[in-house]
Amino acid sequence: MSEVRLKVRNMTKHFGVNRALNNVSFDINKGEVHALIGENGSGKSTMTNMLTGIYPMESGTFTLDGEDLHPKNQVDANNHGVSIIVQELGTLSGLTVAENIFLGHEDRFITYGFRNTVAMNAEANRLLEEYGFTHIKAADLVDNYNFEDRKLIEIVKATYFNPKIVVIDETTTALSQEGREELYKHMNRIRAQGNTVIFISHDLPEILDKSDTITILRDGEYITTVKSKDVSEDDLKKLMVGREVTGDYYRSDYGEKVSDEVVLSVKDVSVPGIIHNVTFDLHKGEILGFGGLSESGMHEIGKAIFGASYDREGSVTLADGTQINDIPTAIKHSIAYTSKDRDNESIVINQSIRDNIALPSLNKLSNNFGILSWPAIKKFAIDFAKEMSVKMVNTDQFVSELSGGNKQKVVLARWIGKGSDIVVLDSPTRGIDIKVKQDIYQLMNRMRKEGKSIIMISEELMELIGMCDRIIIMKDGAIKGDLPRSKDLNENSLISMMV
Amino acid sequence: MSEVIDKEKEQLKLKRMRLIRSILPIVGLVLVFILFNILTDGKLMDRLPLVMSQVYVIMIASMGVFFIMTMGGLDFSQGSIIGLSAIVVCVLSEYSIPLAILGGIVTGAAIGAVNGYFYVNRKIKSFIVTICTMFLFRGLIKYLTTDAPVAGSMELIELDSTALKVACTALVVAIGFVFFVFTKFGTHLKAIGAGEKAAMFSGIRTDRLKFYVYVLSGAITGFAAFIMAVKNGSVTSSGGNQLETQILITLVLGGMPISGGAMARFGNFIVGSLLFVILNSGLNMIGFSTQLMQLIEGIVFLIFVAIFADRKAIHVIK
């Protein structure tokens, strides 16, 4: 039995009235990659954010190598030997690579109040070389580097001082295969030095492959800790959800023929600097997927179809010849859109569930003179919120008080209420837990069978493979490949086209 | 289970906050009215018609700004709009009264269009645009009144009666009420105030609506200029001065959230204008000097802003 590095005891944390962690206790050993898994909202990031001083602790204790750890902020955590690589961009724009690496630790280069930039850059360059990232130069602004390189810079920043614990929080989802390999290499190195990696990822095969030990959290509760070699992917899913995940998670049909009837054609659509000459047709009853890296331009395609792109060229035409050039026209002609940026673009966050659901359908809910019927609006909102089983007190409740999954349900309720025939879903399951995900997949399948057409833009390759009749892969703003639905598709074949 | 109870508690707390917000201005109105009646030995009650005569202009003009603030904008040019429109009303009243009314409305709408153009098309924050137009048109008013105040025709002055002013105010407010509460106009304005981008993605032509609301607000104030001209008979270089601050205080006293959005209630400006006018007259009757009155009103204003500002949404002010 290896030595214990970190003891977590009775950790509890609330956000307002929501309890994110409840009395969680477990141990993390030296020299291991310890995975932390659970659905969204299970408390894994809350835990690591407290460990690394991003959130203040509430009650409970961390004991690091026998000493009480109570980090006041990230720098304090660093000084105690705990660091983190975060999910989104963790480097600061406008600073140089070296300034980013030594952020909060500039003291060692300061004499009499002056910072010795030359020494700092030299030290940063030495570290970059040691890590094998020779193409990155310490004196450059981080803005000169792409997302992947900036992640590499973060790796250096989080690990150069040989911390006892490095937290890697859902970093891999954003990385290409090469970037991931680089990260795995450093995870192994940290482990070999006898230090610990806390690894958070949604990718279960990756978890099983790369970690030694796995701790499962559910709804802020500690469930269990297992050895990776003793469990299967299905076991983990079961532990995460707390019940058997039925086979009908994604669609189960293969080889169904999609109608030849074209409902929407996109021709030579370009948005300067984002997408170039994209042409495709959407068929009746089809789920058409778009996959690619986040910057591949795929998210802009959804906006372009919805008439929401600024400066769009080319044409988006419906079967009856109607040109879609602005949002009101799109909505009038039965096109719906849910944005990746849910809180800003999909729903009016500081407004009631009722108004959010009714907003695009107000014409339908008023008489010939444009006079609204409030009882009809209320009934409309209640009906469709119920149909989507939105968890709420009543429809007067503000959307800002709902969880991510419920917000998305409100968004979908509004478009189902509007009766849209063409539905563009950008990252529909982003930040949503497995139960609601399953609801959304079932809804999509039902809509498909009703003859509605769906465009699903997603960064989650598994859901594209599982749900789509056809997947278009985007790279650098252009269409790179067009793959029909097949049992043989796997993530690797998609990734190789994306990068 | 405890989590459900917690949620309900939170919901109840929120409801209570909203209730306080909606009741406080009305309670305030009653309290202030009673307080000043006691302080002035009932003089306020006796002079109620006179007090009320100050309410018409501010109530009409603040309705337009209420629409603007609901969608998260601001307008500081109201004082200049009413001043310039009143000059137009006075000049045109020599020819015909309907023409004068129309002229006032068109003048107000035109200034509103200037505001709307710079705000929407040139994408400049509304308070900066309207502060600019406030100075610009105040300058024009001063130029036009350099030699003498602009006086209205006898016909215009003879129109002055409580019945006319009450009728005009009631009519404007009633039309505004129907449009705000019973058409999609109000819902769309609130949606823009609560989240402009999401409103746009819900199919609202946000830019067009924002522009028209500035035009509308100008037009409404242009109509208020007619009432002002009827009441005063002439316009001096300071005509309508500080109306914009009075309107802002009015709306805040009425419980209007500074950043607009879903919490805006049509009653806000009605209660607010009554409260403002009674506060003003009451202080005046007790014998406070104008300077001291401004000080007290400033303090009351601050207290109300502190209560009603939604700090989470304050950055939305456009």
Tens of pLDDT, residue by residue over A27-83, are: 999 999 999 998 766 888 889 989 998 888 988 999 999 899 999 988 899 899 999
Query: Model confidence at B1, in pLDDT bands (50, 70, 90)?
Result: very low
| Spatial distance between the Cα atoms of A75 and A68, rounded to a whole number of angstroms | 17
| Least confident among A39-43, A110-114, A381-385, B171-175 | A39-43
pLDDT in tens, A432-441: 777 788 889 9
Query: Model confidence at B315, in pLDDT bands (50, 70, 90)?
Result: very low
* Residue scoring higher pLDDT (B233 or B22): B233
Give pLDDT, residue A27: 93
Query: Model confidence at A90, in pLDDT bands (50, 70, 90)?
Result: confident
The nearest CA of chain B is from the CA of A410 a distance in Å of 13
- Note whether B191 contacts A351, CB cutoff 8 Å: yes
Is A262-498 the same fold as A4-241? yes
pLDDT in tens, A264-290: 999 999 999 899 999 999 999 999 999
- Note whether B262 contacts A19, CB cutoff 8 Å: no
The nearest CA of chain A is from the CA of B90 a distance in Å of 37
Count of CB contacts below 8 A, A vs B? 93
Give the start-to-end residue ranges of the domains of chain A. Answer: 4-241, 262-498
| Residue B36 contacts residue B44 (beta carbons within 8 Å) | yes
pLDDT in tens, B141-152: 999 998 889 998
pLDDT in tens, B286-305: 888 888 888 888 888 888 77
| Residue B236 contacts residue B145 (beta carbons within 8 Å) | yes
Using a pLDDT cut of 70, give the percent of chain A over it: 96
The nearest CA of chain B is from the CA of A197 a distance in Å of 33
Give pLDDT, residue A331: 95
Neighbours of B239 (CB within 10 A): 26
Give the start-to-end residue ranges of the domains of chain B. Answer: 54-240
| Residue A426 contacts residue A268 (beta carbons within 8 Å) | no
Instruction: Calculate the dihedral angle through the C-alpha atoms of A327, A329, A334, A337, rounding to the nearest 10 degrees.
Output: -10
| Spatial distance between the Cα atoms of A154 and A128, rounded to a whole number of angstroms | 11
Which residues of chain A make contact with B177, given a CB cutoff of 8 A?
Answer: none
DSSP characters over chain B: -HHHHHHHHHHHHHHHHHHHHHHHHHHHHHHHHHHHHHHTTTHHHHTHHHHHTTHHHHHHHHHHHHHHHHTT-----HHHHHHHHHHHHHHHTTT-HHHHHHHHHHHHHHHHHHHHIIIIIS---HHHHHHHHHHHHHHHHHHHTSSSPEEPPHHHHHT--HHHHHHHHHHHHHHHHHHHHHSHHHHHHHHHHH-HHHHHHTT--HHHHHHHHHHHHHHHHHHHHHHHHHHHSEE-TTTTTTHHHHHHHHHHHTT--TT-STT--THHHHHHHHHHHHHHHHHHHHT--HHHHHHHHHHHHHHHHHHH--TTTGGG--
Give pLDDT, residue A365: 92
Query: What average pLDDT does range A397-412 have in this prediction?
Result: 87
**B18 in A contact zone (CB under 8 Å):** no
Provide the edge-to-edge strand list for the sheet that holds A313-318: A275-283, A262-271, A313-318
Give pLDDT, residue B7: 58
Residue of A nearest to B6 (CA): A17
Dihedral pair phi/psi, residue A174, rounded to 5°: -90, -10
Question: Which of A339, A347, A357, A359 would you mutate first to test chain B, the one with the most B CBs within 10 A?
Answer: A359
Nearest-by-Cβ selection for B182 from A18, A326, A371: A371
Q: Which one of A141-155, A205-219, B77-91 scores highest in mean pLDDT? A: B77-91
* B318 has a pLDDT exceeding 60: no
List, in order, residues 6 or more apart from B266 with CB less than 8 Å away.
Answer: B66, B176, B177, B180, B181, B186
Q: Which fold has domain A262-498?
A: Rossmann fold (3.40.50)
| Residue A324 contacts residue A305 (beta carbons within 8 Å) | yes
Would you state the structure tokens that stand for residue B71, as one six-digit string?
Answer: 């969608």
| Least confident among A224-233, A243-252, A330-339 | A243-252
Give the B window 258-317 contacts with A, CB below 8 Å: 261-262, 310, 312-313
In one-letter notation, the amino acid at residue B43 is K
Query: Model confidence at B5, in pLDDT bands (50, 70, 90)?
Result: low
CA B72, A303, B188 angle in degrees (round to 5)?
Answer: 30
Q: What is the mean pLDDT of chain A?
A: 89
- Note whether B7 contacts A348, CB cutoff 8 Å: no
| Spatial distance between the Cα atoms of B114 and B200, rounded to a whole number of angstroms | 23
pLDDT in tens, B239-287: 888 899 999 999 988 988 888 888 889 999 999 999 999 988 888 888 8
Give pLDDT, residue B11: 66
| Spatial distance between the Cα atoms of B68 and A373, rounded to a whole number of angstroms | 24
In chain B, what's the furthest Cα-to-Cα distance? 77
* A1 has a pLDDT exceeding 60: no
Query: Model confidence at B51, in pLDDT bands (50, 70, 90)?
Result: confident
Query: What average pLDDT does range A364-378 have in this prediction?
Result: 92
| Residue B233 contacts residue B150 (beta carbons within 8 Å) | no
- Note whether B184 contacts A372, CB cutoff 8 Å: yes
Q: What is the mean pLDDT of chain B?
A: 89
**B147 in A contact zone (CB under 8 Å):** no
Give pLDDT, residue A46: 86
Residues composing chain A:
499
* A307 has a pLDDT exceeding 90: yes
Helix (H, G, I), strand (E, B) or coil at A112: coil
**A382 in B contact zone (CB under 8 Å):** no
Q: Considering only the top CATH level, what class is A4-241?
A: alpha beta
Would you state the structure tokens that stand for residue B64, as one six-digit string?
Answer: 């337009």
- Note whether A351 contacts B3, CB cutoff 8 Å: no
Query: What average pLDDT does range A125-150 have in this prediction?
Result: 88
| Residue A45 contacts residue A56 (beta carbons within 8 Å) | no
Which residues of chain B make contact with A332, given a CB cutoff of 8 A?
Answer: 203
What Å distances lie between residue A278 and A298, A300, A336, A477, B13, CA to CA?
A: 10, 11, 20, 8, 51
Give pLDDT, residue B201: 94
Residue of B nearest to A398 (CA): B262
pLDDT in tens, A460-479: 888 899 999 999 999 999 99
Query: Model confidence at A211, in pLDDT bands (50, 70, 90)?
Result: very high
Which residues of chain B make contact with A349, given a CB cutoff of 8 A?
Answer: 194-195, 198
